[in-house]
């Protein structure tokens, strides 16, 4: 009898150890939740829904997009950080959640470097420096001159303290040694409207949002805040070509999950993302949204996130930028 009980114990132990492995081999065997830490209709939401459709096809499983906006992405990020690391809860994270927030807030309910598994880079968003027609500014040089002449300096809008649109303008002002007054709006759309109406002099905007206003003659483009010129604006120089030696403002989105995900699951998900980026129809769609695909490994985006955290974290502390 003891021998029989001992045998049953061995079989039970073997089954217990076999379950995780077999579960990973059959991954995914149920729907996957893809959290978007922004509202429906946002840039991240559009990318997530495109990505989710392709991942579903590649993985033969449903991808459910779950919007959890608020607090600069903190609500969605902290939710995902607390989920099981089985690969069924993922997040389309932006640079703010992973590389900026820990430097902007006194405390966070998650640790950006310890609480997530990096899966794959997805896309990058180019930015453009624009000014209002009422400002009379036509170039970066006249931007500098006007800033020095105007009492109190120029005004600029952003989507909020610590947002990429805020940090990019702070960096430009710092490098140029000019004074500017920050006006925080409730989103990048209202900020751009403020530039169009002459409420503020300037802003750094996502290229996709600003381009219709540029081509419509409602705002004046001064420089692409990125590594290369935009093909839609071939005569607009990059910020470095215009003489401002700033680090490139990152606008990337990446697929991440809770810490401790199985490497085989990460590899399978990364492969599905690469298929998404290689799809000809996806390429056309991303180009129409003015988004640049980023192919690469999990380590590619992890190292990029660490670099952006170091560069922009140092700058945030230097400028004393804090969010409540």
Structure tokens belonging to residue 224:
């692409």
Question: Residues 89-137: pLDDT tens digits?
Answer: 999 999 999 999 999 999 999 999 999 999 999 999 999 999 999 999 9
At 135-183, the pLDDT tens digits run 999 999 999 999 999 888 899 999 889 889 999 999 999 999 999 999 9
CA distances from residue 173 to 56, 141, 144, 176, 214 in whole angstroms, order as listed = 44, 13, 9, 5, 22
Residue 257 binned pLDDT confidence (cut-offs 50, 70, 90)? very high
Quick check: 230 and 159 in contact, CB under 8 A?
Answer: no
Architecture of domain 127-225: 3-Layer(aba) Sandwich (3.40)
Among residues 124, 206, 104, the alpha carbon closest in space to that of 158 is found at 206
User: What's the confidence (pLDDT) of residue 42?
Assistant: 83
Residue extent(s) of CATH 3.40.190.10 domains in the chain = 127-225
Strands 219-225 and 127-132: antiparallel
Rounded CA-CA distance 230/223 in Å is 10
N-to-C CA span, the chain: 66
Task: Tokens 């996957």: give the residue.
Answer: 32
In the predicted structure, residue 21 carries a pLDDT above the cut 60 = no
What angle, 0 to 180 degrees and rounded to 10, lies between the N-to-C axes of helices 263-278 and 2-25? 20
Sign of the CA dihedral with 167 first, then 172, 173, and 174 last = positive
The 10s digit of each residue's pLDDT in 182-195 is: 999 988 889 999 99
- With residue 35 as reference, give the H or E element that holds it: strand 32-36
Does pLDDT of 273 surpass 90? yes
Per-residue model confidence as pLDDT tens digits over 32-78: 999 999 888 888 999 999 999 999 999 999 999 999 998 889 999 99
pTM confidence score? 0.85
Residues of the chain with CATH 3.40.190.150: 31-125+251-319
The domain over range 31-125+251-319 is classified in CATH as 2.40.30.10: no
What would the two tokens of residue 151 be?
């009492």
């Amino acid at each position: 009898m003891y021998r029989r009980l001992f045998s049953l114990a061995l079989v039970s132990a073997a089954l217990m150890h076999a379950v995780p492995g077999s579960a990973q081999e059959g991954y995914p065997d149920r729907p996957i939740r893809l959290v978007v830490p922004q509202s429906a209709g946002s840039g991240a939401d559009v990318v997530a829904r495109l990505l989710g459709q392709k991942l579903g096809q590649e993985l033969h499983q449903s991808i459910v997009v779950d919007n959890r906006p608020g607090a600069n992405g903190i609500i969605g990020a902290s939710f995902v950080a607390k989920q099981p690391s089985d690969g069924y809860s993922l997040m389309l994270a932006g640079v703010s959640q992973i590389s900026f927030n820990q430097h902007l807030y006194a405390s966070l309910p998650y640790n950006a470097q310890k609480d997530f598994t990096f899966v794959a880079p997805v896309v990058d968003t180019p930015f453009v420096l624009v000014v209002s027609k009422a400002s009379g500014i036509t170039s970066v040089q006249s931007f500098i001159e006007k800033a020095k002449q105007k009492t109190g300096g120029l005004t600029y809008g952003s989507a909020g303290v610590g947002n990429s649109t805020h940090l990019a303008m702070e960096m430009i002002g710092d490098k140029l040694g000019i004074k500017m007054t920050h006006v925080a709006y409730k989103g990048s759309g209202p900020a751009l409207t403020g530039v169009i109406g002459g409420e503020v002099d300037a802003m750094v905007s996502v290229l996709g949002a600003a381009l219709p206003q540029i081509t419509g003659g409602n705002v004046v483009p001064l420089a692409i805040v990125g590594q290369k010129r935009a093909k839609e604006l071939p005569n607009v120089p990059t910020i470095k070509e215009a003489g401002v030696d700033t680090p490139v403002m990152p606008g990337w989105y990446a697929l991440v999950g809770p810490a401790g995900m199985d490497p085989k699951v990460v590899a399978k998900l990364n492969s599905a993302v690469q298929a998404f980026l290689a799809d000809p129809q996806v390429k056309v769609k991303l180009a129409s949204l003015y988004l640049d695909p980023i192919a690469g490994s999990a380590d590619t985006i992890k190292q990029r996130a660490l670099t952006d955290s170091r560069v922009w974290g140092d700058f945030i502390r230097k400028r004393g930028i804090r969010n409540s």
